[in-house]
Structure 1
Amino acid sequence: MNNSKPFPIPLWIILLIGIIAISFSSIFIRWSDAPVSVMAMYRLYFTNLFMIPFVMKYWSEIKTLSKSDWFYLSLSGLLLGLHFLLWMGSLRFTSVANSTAIVALEPIFVLIGSFLFFKIRTNILSVVGMFIAVLGAALIGWGDFGVSSEAFFGDILALLGAIAVALHMLIGKLLLRKMSNYVYSFFVFLTAAFSLHIYNLILGYSFFNYASIDWGIFIILAIVPTVFGHLLFNWLLKYMNATTVSMSILGEPLGAALLAYFLLNEHITIQQAIAGVILLFGVWLFIKFDEKDRSKI
């Protein structure tokens, strides 16, 4: 733990709340017929709206941001917007279980980017985990291609979404060395929402002509998986080590698959289940030994 003060609620309960919250994301998306880019836009705009009352506390920090900081904040936001567009789009074509499992490859793409851009190396067991995870993803794609080319296309979108969010995370690692998580999150979310706003304008999507259930889903996407999911994980980094919080990424595919089974009547084949287990085991192996290796630096 990074903070010696005892916390009134067991931290594992808060972590579990975060995992359940992000697991609901794909379910909410499936419950709306609105374009995914519109859902993503309002999800981020509403999240920013909830954050506004607190942003003034960081005004002195915001005034010190350089042109370079604003450039990389914008780039990180564009990549986050692209991630939501691709990943949420994948749920229109492939299963919840497959989409969330493939997006769990994110830390492996972060490793590849860290090596290519920052020359950061890792140990052999992490590399083994990476190859196992990639094998699992390939098996998922191969199985879906056998089911339908549409499902395979959804897997590709999820894979591209994982790459986009990994690049977003790499930029975030640099920016968070010089600014608070709140400032970073607020302006990245705002940039991502605005980029999706422009995308929706270009495609001519309606901004207001949606049923009340859709508006409810826009708001709940901001509250549940974003505030009680991603922002909660960022807050937990103050009290828990990064390895434990990083492992939470493995809970989403399992939680989302179970929720999809009960709420969306989605079923998975034996091959998909085996491939998903292989992928998640590879990601677990990678995170476990990559974090252990970095703790020695």
Structure 2
Amino acid sequence: MGGEKRRLGALALAAGAAGIAFSAVLNKTILEEGLSPLWLNVFRLGFSCLFLLPFFLRDAGARKAFGTLTRREKGLTLLSGLMLAGHFASWAAALAWADSLIAASIWSTFSLLTVLGSALFLGEKTPVPALLGMVLAVCGVAICAADAQGARLLGVAMAALAAVTQAVYTLCGRAVRKKLDVLPYTMAVYSVALGALLLAALLSGLPDAVSLKGLGVSMLLALVCTLGGHSMQNYALRFYKAPTVSAVFLTEVFTGPALVFFILGEAPPMSSVLGGVVILLGVGWYMLYEWRVAHGLVPSRRKPQECAELPQ
């Protein structure tokens, strides 16, 4: 990699990680304005699609790309959008009912679930470090949920659902992104997710009121986290291997709760701290293994796990 490309890749990684870091605090700020997790993400994805639309319409190749997809690939794109909708809604619900540290820690297990899904559905061999990481992560989730009751326990469940839907979304993306570039894939998936969330939100009832602050922060969430964070991640994948990019973006597990603490004054309980540390040990163990494989430090017959976006 040339010096200029290395600098561009590093800037993309730094900008993307910074954008993702604000996900928890912006989500919580909007939730405090009275918007439900469904309506929050309707506005978030609505603004995201609106910002992407001019670029999509101007790119003839992006518009024609869908015609090259098989029926199976179109089905996977549809499933990917539905999973993204489920992820966004469950992630916001987790932040509404539980502290940001427990939500982010449990969400980080999606990387291990992706490996498990690859073994179950794609016939890929699951490496031993991934199995050890899964055991540690499950223990960490159990610690987080040990004293959880009522709404907090529901928040733990929503964080787990966010991890599962993220993993399925990632697996779908691995298949479709082999043929579609970032722009048409992102536009298609975001549009499907927006439609699904809008339908679910309308069925749940209209919001009592939508404040200008809520709309403004939703726009920030779309610009800073969805486009600034995830678009930069996809750009960084041109210069760095997937395990490196994934490891950098998992810093959100620390930076997100830290911003929530300093900006909103929310301190996580000790069980979240202990459980989060155990979860991150499991995820970190596996990410270190993937990084070593990607750099040829560990002999392996398998390729490092590819990743789609990390749509926090």
Match of residue 191 from structure 1: 192
Q: Percent identity?
A: 25
Note closer, same or farther for the CA distance 1:5–1:176 as it changes in structure 2 (3 Å cut): farther
Given the alignment, which residue of 66, 75, 79 partners 1:71? 75
| Structure 1 unmatched ranges of 5 or more | none
Match of residue 45 from structure 2: 44
In 1: Cα distance, 2:292 partner to 2:115 partner: 14
Give the TM-score normalised by the residue count of structure 1. 0.91
Does the 8 Å contact 1:104/1:249 carry over to 2? no
Note closer, same or farther for the CA distance 1:142–1:216 as it changes in structure 2 (3 Å cut): same
In 1: Cα distance, 2:265 partner to 2:285 partner: 31
Deviates more, 1:5-14 or 1:55-64: 5-14
| Structure 2 unmatched ranges of 5 or more | 303-312
1:98 maps to a residue whose letter is I
Please show how residues 6-155 of structure 1 align to structure 2 within 5 Å: 6-7=4-5, 9=7, 11-32=9-30, 33-56=34-57, 57=59, 58-143=62-147, 145=148, 148-155=149-156
In 2: Cα distance, 1:8 partner to 1:126 partner: 29
Q: Deviations over 1:62-91 (max 9, x none)?
A: 332333332221111011101111111111
Note closer, same or farther for the CA distance 1:35–1:288 as it changes in structure 2 (3 Å cut): same
SS in 1 for 2:250: helix
Structure 1: 4+ residue segments shifted above 6 A? none
1:122 maps to a residue whose letter is T
In 2: Cα distance, 1:280 partner to 1:196 partner: 30
Q: Deviations over 1:128-186 (max 9, x none)?
A: 1221122112111114x2xx332111011110111011111111111111211221111
In 1: Cα distance, 2:126 partner to 2:166 partner: 20
In 2: Cα distance, 1:41 partner to 1:53 partner: 19
In 2: Cα distance, 1:176 partner to 1:5 partner: 27
Match of residue 274 from structure 1: 274
Does the 8 Å contact 1:122/1:290 carry over to 2? no
* Residue 254 of structure 1: how far off its partner (Å): 0.3
In 1: Cα distance, 2:22 partner to 2:168 partner: 24
Give the TM-score normalised by the residue count of structure 2. 0.87
* Residue 61 of structure 1: how far off its partner (Å): 1.9
* Residue 10 of structure 1: how far off its partner (Å): 5.7
Please report the RMSD computed on the Cα atoms of aligned residues, expressed in angstroms: 1.9
1:176 maps to a residue whose letter is R
Please show how residues 175-186 of structure 1 align to structure 2 within 5 Å: 175-186=176-187
Match of residue 254 from structure 2: 254
2:108 maps to a residue whose letter is A
SS in 2 for 1:238: coil
Please show how residues 278-297 of structure 1 align to structure 2 within 5 Å: 278-290=278-290, 292-293=292-293, 296=300, 297=302
In 1: Cα distance, 2:95 partner to 2:130 partner: 29
Number of aligned residue pairs: give it.
291
Q: Deviations over 1:84-134 (max 9, x none)?
A: 111111111100111111101111111111111112113212221221122
